[in-house]
Structure 1
Amino acid sequence: MRKLTYAMNTSLDGYTAAPGDDLGWGAPSDELFQWWSDRVAATELALYGRRLWETMSSHWPTADEQPGATPADIEYARRWRDMPKVVFSSTIDKVDWNARLVSGDAVAEIARLKAGDGGPMDLTGATLAAAAMRAGLIDEYLLVTVPVLLGGGTPFFTALDSWVNLDLVETRKFPGGVLLTRYETRR
């Protein structure tokens, strides 16, 4: 059985995006950017919701060709393109860059992928994660908390019908007061 991790940047008040899907508040330090890049390299399959897919796929496929691309940008772009991806959406009809599209029941497909053989899967996109969270499919929550208060936007967590008990398994501080916390779901 594969491990499913929900991993995203979040504001201190718990939002993955500011109103209007603004992600500009979460620009990473070089050290954090390298950490995310290494995570992409270690992830066997990334599961994307439509909105985050559109954001990522509008930049990373050609980021290594842009003027001023740093070695870190070039490495991340290559890793991102190479990483297998599944995009969940009922409103788009095509995906590229080593991705496949699922327009049906996201929870059923995530459960099927999780039950199979293979390495770790990362789930990104708060709306998609909310469905997996309510279905009890997430094994690990990885929050990269940026010390900013957004006051609204897209929440990292969704409303749940019952408690989910977690065990803290890792903390790490990054420059700028950014804090990584990783929790495993207690089963």
Structure 2
Amino acid sequence: MRKIVVHMMLSLDGYFEGPDHDLSWHLVDEELHAHFNEQLATMSAFVEGRVTYELMEAVWPTADQNPEYPPVMREFAGIWRAVPKIVFSRTLQEVGPNASLRAQVDPDEIRALKQQPGGDMTLGGVDLVETFRRLDLVDEYRLYVNPVVVGRGR
């Protein structure tokens, strides 16, 4: 049985993002990025909300073509392209290659996906995580605490 696994960066004071959606304090060095690559390469799907999907899709499809990025970032570009994505959005009309679109979370569909063989599914997007949590669909949390105090945000 596959699990729904939340991978989330948090500040010491419990924030996911700072004011005005600031994520600049997310400290991801090469060692942590290599760890993320190892974890995420085993996933059978990236389950994401619109904002997370759009942020990721803006960088990762071609990141391996940027010689200024370190090898771990270029490696993740291949992982991003290879892993299927399930995107939840009420506003998007289409998504990129290897992605499918859902307008809302159907708990029965998610439970059926979890029963299929394959690797776990990672869940991203703070609003989507809250919806999955409320519907008791999250199986595991992997929280990465950054050594910063953000003070306010979300």
Partner of 1:144: 144
Structure 2, unmatched stretches of 5+, are: none
Residues in 1 aligned to 2:90 and 2:96: alpha-carbon distance in whole angstroms: 16
Q: Secondary structure at the match of 2:28?
A: coil
Give deviations 1:35-79, integer Å, cap 9, x for gaps.
011112111111001111111111111111124122212111111
Partner of 1:153: 153
Q: Secondary structure at the match of 2:16?
A: strand
Partner of 1:53: 53
Quick check: 1:24 aligned with 2:24? Answer: yes
Aligned pair count?
A: 154
Partner of 1:100: 100
Quick check: 1:116 aligned with 2:116? Answer: yes
Give the C-alpha shift of residue 108 in structure 1: 4.3
Cα distance change of structure 1 residues 102 and 147 upon mapping to structure 2, 3 Å threshold: same
Q: Secondary structure at the match of 2:92?
A: coil
- TM-score, length-scaled by structure 2: 0.92
Q: Which amino acid aligns with 2:19?
A: P
Q: Secondary structure at the match of 2:110?
A: helix
Residues in 1 aligned to 2:20 and 2:41: alpha-carbon distance in whole angstroms: 30
Residues in 1 aligned to 2:65 and 2:125: alpha-carbon distance in whole angstroms: 26
Q: Which amino acid aligns with 2:62?
A: T
Q: Secondary structure at the match of 1:27?
A: coil
Give the C-alpha shift of residue 11 in structure 1: 0.9
Give the C-alpha shift of residue 13 in structure 1: 1.3
CA contact (8 A) 2:44 2:120 kept: yes
Partner of 1:12: 12
Partner of 2:63: 63
Residues in 2 aligned to 1:105 and 1:71: alpha-carbon distance in whole angstroms: 35
CA contact (8 A) 1:61 1:97 kept: no
CA contact (8 A) 1:4 1:123 kept: yes
Deviation >4 Å, runs of 4+ = none
Give the C-alpha shift of residue 97 in structure 1: 3.4
Bigger strand share: 1
| Higher RCO (C-alpha under 8 Å, 6+ residues apart) | 2
Percent identical among aligned pairs is 40
